[in-house]
Chains A and B, each alone.
Chain A
Amino acid sequence: MSRTLRLAITAGEPAGIGPDLCIQIAQQGHPQQLIVIADPELLRERAKTLSLPLVLHAFDDSAPAQPTAAGELFVVPVELAAEAEPGVLDPRNASYVLKTLELAANGCLSGRFDAVVTAPVHKGVINQAGIAFSGHTEFLEDLTSSEKVVMMLATEGLRVALATTHLPLADVPKAITAPLLRQVLTVLIRDLKTYFNAPNPKVLVCGLNPHAGEGGYLGREEIDTITPVLDEMRKTGVDLIGPLPADTLFTEHNLIGADAVLAMYHDQGLPVLKYKGFGRAVNITLGMPIIRTSVDHGTALDLAGTGRADSGSLHTAIDYASSMVQSKEHGNANS
């Protein structure tokens, strides 16, 4: 029988739907010990607003891990700087948000938690508070001293990793270099093996240009950059298919047997995920010494405190984090 996992959940921006989602998922029992890192008062208040029952237990490191009963959550308390009103951002709480992330990541590094699942933060308000912050991924990359992280989104039957993320489209072609692709593919292949039970990962690689450049007529990056890297990596036995035209690659039939797709840019991969995911997509950061999954949506300030937020993505993120931990341990046990 597998052991009980300890998953840290950061509730994210207190004015957004993060706290709501934590309370909503607590309405059913979970085989994992779910440990929310947030201000307990905030959670209690929000539960009241949502008219949902919630019992909080202080998380105790020294006690054995235990499953989470319906209507309950474990909590590692971090105090808000200012009271949080649903839908109203307050820069004073920016450092609170970052503190929860730090506790979660450090807890993963020290073995206190098995993985961290993050609810959405609001980049704008953190920057407004005078703290340079470009996103969860970059923040955790620094905190864990990771060399190269890769953003991957997953939903039922499809995983898409991105070679470039939040770049203006005009800057994408020059960012697609051989060293970048080599690095991204190396992380992707390694983590598919470790966390996704894929001993010989098969990865479909998108071209950059329409029709994957059509033999050089519609762009040369496929010929000059992408193909040489794929050829080189195939020599090490990696199963890489491509570069393929992105518009046909994502059709059902072409995805059969693939462990992941590598997209060259944000909007090449994400719309497909959203389309196929139906609110059940999850964002995973690869290349770190810790396991981190996240919801695929934003803070949805207008829905905070209304009870209309959809917790599907948080459920999925918890499931993915758990299966990644299990795959890692199962793999280690066999090696």
Chain B
Amino acid sequence: MVNDKPTVALTLGDPAGIGSELIAKLLSHRQVLEQANVVLVGDEWLWQRGQTIAGVQVELQPIVSLAEARAQAGGRPLFLAVDSVHPEEVEVGTARASGGASVLKVLDLCLAAVRDRQIDAICFAPLNKHAMKQAGMPFEDELHYFADYLNVDGFFCEFNTLGGLWTSRISSHVPLKDVPLYLEKGRIKQASQLIYRSLQAAGVAEPRVAVAALNPHGGDGGVCGREEIDIIAPAVEELNAEGVPVHGPFPADTIFLKARAGEYDAIVTMYHDQGQIAIKLLGFERGVTVQGGLPVPITTPAHGTAYDIAGQNRANVEATLQAFHIACRMGAAYRAEANC
């Protein structure tokens, strides 16, 4: 019977990592089913292995296609079994092309279904970029893969979220000396707008977004760098004039204190370590990555495959739970958007 809940696909991630045990733990939480129609997409044997490692047993209801997910939703999580990788091709704790190919096959199925609105969101377990590249993925990371699959031509970027705080960054994996090259008014505006709208999509009606400065003490009035005066402040002013109420620029050494005190929902950072140092101090084990700028909701825990502890039932499920919660909220908005 069709209900009002969003339908959210879960994947098991890289088969050599902690993904299957995390999803088994996640699905053993009762409240998970209250928030969404859950459909697990993955290999039967891997799912069994995950349950064994986690020491849980969850009854699933098989389906044959994601097209019937919404109609089949009932008391139990749904399960679309796929044949993407065989146990003998997987060595726990080792990145392999077979694992990467498995991840790509499962994600392709989910991406097509969420694009076609058969489902409303994807929450995927950690994957391994190198394994995916070995399997033929011609992109630097999964976000670019998604963007290509979904024909995205606008601005997109990753958001890191931690509890109620979201961050995005103007420049990411680039040498520090190249950071100033990314400081363009247009990029700052796009990134700020994107996180603002994405927070709205995740259920925050009036997001409070702060933009970080680039230089020490925010440039100290131009004495210590001019990007704040020449680029960042004008971008903030233009956004405000266009009806996007973002604040800043604020010095990096105080902005995260304000955010920790609950003054902001999001911070747009200028470079990788500006945000990542703070995020890891605030509690990385709860961090979630939201794939921003895509037409569909996709989330994942911020941590990786944790090969070193895979199979030991030591993986912490907290980030996966948070990633699932956000996928549910964004999935509900995605579904509502189709209905109006």
Q: Which residue of B lies closest to A249 (CB)?
A: B277
Question: Could you tell me if A211 and B225 are in contact, using CB atoms closer than 8 angstroms?
Answer: no
Within 8 Å CB of A265, what residues of B?
A: 216
Question: Could you tell me if B216 and A167 are in contact, using CB atoms closer than 8 angstroms?
Answer: yes
Residue of A167, A173, A276 touching B177 (CB-CB under 8 A): A173
Provide the A197-227 mask, 1 if CB < 8 A to any CB of B, else 0. Answer: 0000000000011110110001111000000
Residue of A167, A209, A275 touching B175 (CB-CB under 8 A): A209
Q: Is A131 located at the chain interface by the 8 A CB criterion?
A: no
Within 8 Å CB of B179, what residues of A?
A: 169-170
Residue of B175, B217, B225, B271 touching A213 (CB-CB under 8 A): B175
Within 8 Å CB of B194, what residues of A?
A: none
A105 to B77, CA, bound (A): 72
Return B230 CB to nearest CB of chain A, in Å: 12
Q: Which residue of B lies closest to A254 (CB)?
A: B280
Residue of A210, A248, A272, A274 touching B172 (CB-CB under 8 A): A210
Are A172 and B257 CB-contacts (below 8 A) given A246-B277, A275-B281? no
Residue of A167, A218, A250, A272 touching B173 (CB-CB under 8 A): A218
Return A14 CB to nearest CB of chain B, in Å: 22
Question: Could you tell me if B280 and A250 are in contact, using CB atoms closer than 8 angstroms?
Answer: yes
Q: Is A266 located at the chain interface by the 8 A CB criterion?
A: yes
Q: Is A270 located at the chain interface by the 8 A CB criterion?
A: yes
Provide the A265-295 mask, 1 if CB < 8 A to any CB of B, else 0. Answer: 1111011111110000000000000000000
A168 to B273, CA, bound (A): 16
A276 to B174, CA, bound (A): 28
Question: Could you tell me if A270 and B253 are in contact, using CB atoms closer than 8 angstroms?
Answer: yes
Return A193 CB to nearest CB of chain B, in Å: 28
Within 8 Å CB of B141, what residues of A?
A: none
Return A182 CB to nearest CB of chain B, in Å: 20
Q: Is A247 located at the chain interface by the 8 A CB criterion?
A: yes
Provide the A136-150 mask, 1 if CB < 8 A to any CB of B, else 0. Answer: 000000000000000
Return A250 CB to nearest CB of chain B, in Å: 6
A168 to B176, CA, bound (A): 12
Are A167 and B256 CB-contacts (below 8 A) given A173-B177, A250-B277? no
Return A220 CB to nearest CB of chain B, in Å: 7
Residue of B219, B251, B278 touching A168 (CB-CB under 8 A): B219
Are A274 and B257 CB-contacts (below 8 A) given A209-B176, A218-B175, A267-B216? yes
Q: Is B215 located at the chain interface by the 8 A CB criterion?
A: yes
Residue of B173, B220, B256, B284 touching A275 (CB-CB under 8 A): B256
Are A219 and B281 CB-contacts (below 8 A) given A166-B216, A274-B253? no
B residues 134-190 in Cβ contact with A at 8 Å: 172-177, 179-180
Question: Could you tell me if B176 and A272 are in contact, using CB atoms closer than 8 angstroms?
Answer: no
Question: Could you tell me if B272 and A250 are in contact, using CB atoms closer than 8 angstroms?
Answer: no
Q: Is B131 located at the chain interface by the 8 A CB criterion?
A: no
Q: Is A332 located at the chain interface by the 8 A CB criterion?
A: no
Question: Could you tell me if A220 and B280 are in contact, using CB atoms closer than 8 angstroms?
Answer: no
Q: Is A68 located at the chain interface by the 8 A CB criterion?
A: no
Question: Could you tell me if A267 and B252 are in contact, using CB atoms closer than 8 angstroms?
Answer: yes
Question: Could you tell me if A168 and B224 are in contact, using CB atoms closer than 8 angstroms?
Answer: yes
Instruction: Find the residue from A171, A173, A210 having the highest chain B CB count within 10 A.
Output: A210
Return A249 CB to nearest CB of chain B, in Å: 9
Within 8 Å CB of A251, what residues of B?
A: 280-281, 284
Within 8 Å CB of A214, what residues of B?
A: 173
Question: Could you tell me if B253 and A267 are in contact, using CB atoms closer than 8 angstroms?
Answer: yes
Provide the B260-295 mask, 1 if CB < 8 A to any CB of A, else 0. Answer: 100000000001111011111100100000000000
Q: Is B214 located at the chain interface by the 8 A CB criterion?
A: yes
Question: Could you tell me if B277 and A272 are in contact, using CB atoms closer than 8 angstroms?
Answer: yes
Question: Could you tell me if A166 and B224 are in contact, using CB atoms closer than 8 angstroms?
Answer: yes
B residues 225-239 in Cβ contact with A at 8 Å: 225-227
Q: Is B240 located at the chain interface by the 8 A CB criterion?
A: no
Question: Could you tell me if B256 and A271 are in contact, using CB atoms closer than 8 angstroms?
Answer: yes
Q: Is A165 located at the chain interface by the 8 A CB criterion?
A: yes
Instruction: Find the residue from B173, B176, B215, B271 having the highest chain A CB count within 10 A.
Output: B176
Are A271 and B176 CB-contacts (below 8 A) given A210-B273, A266-B216? no
Question: Could you tell me if B174 and A271 are in contact, using CB atoms closer than 8 angstroms?
Answer: no
Q: Is B254 located at the chain interface by the 8 A CB criterion?
A: yes
Instruction: Find the residue from B177, B219, B227 having the highest chain A CB count within 10 A.
Output: B177
Question: Could you tell me if A210 and B277 are in contact, using CB atoms closer than 8 angstroms?
Answer: no
A271 to B279, CA, bound (A): 11
Within 8 Å CB of A209, what residues of B?
A: 175-176
Instruction: Find the residue from A172, A247, A267, A275 having the highest chain B CB count within 10 A.
Output: A267
Within 8 Å CB of A211, what residues of B?
A: 173
Residue of A208, A213, A220, A271 touching B277 (CB-CB under 8 A): A271
Question: Could you tell me if B180 and A268 are in contact, using CB atoms closer than 8 angstroms?
Answer: no
Question: Could you tell me if B180 and A169 are in contact, using CB atoms closer than 8 angstroms?
Answer: yes
Return B267 CB to nearest CB of chain A, in Å: 11
Residue of A166, A173, A174, A267 touching B220 (CB-CB under 8 A): A166
Question: Could you tell me if B277 and A268 are in contact, using CB atoms closer than 8 angstroms?
Answer: yes
A to B CB contacts below 8 Å, 15 in the list? A166-B216, A166-B217, A166-B223, A168-B224, A169-B216, A170-B227, A172-B176, A173-B177, A218-B174, A246-B277, A247-B273, A247-B276, A266-B216, A275-B278, A276-B281
Known: A247-B273, A272-B277, A272-B278. 4 other contacts (CB 8 A): A168-B215, A210-B173, A219-B175, A246-B273
Top-4 shortest CB links A-B: A168-B225, A219-B175, A247-B276, A210-B272
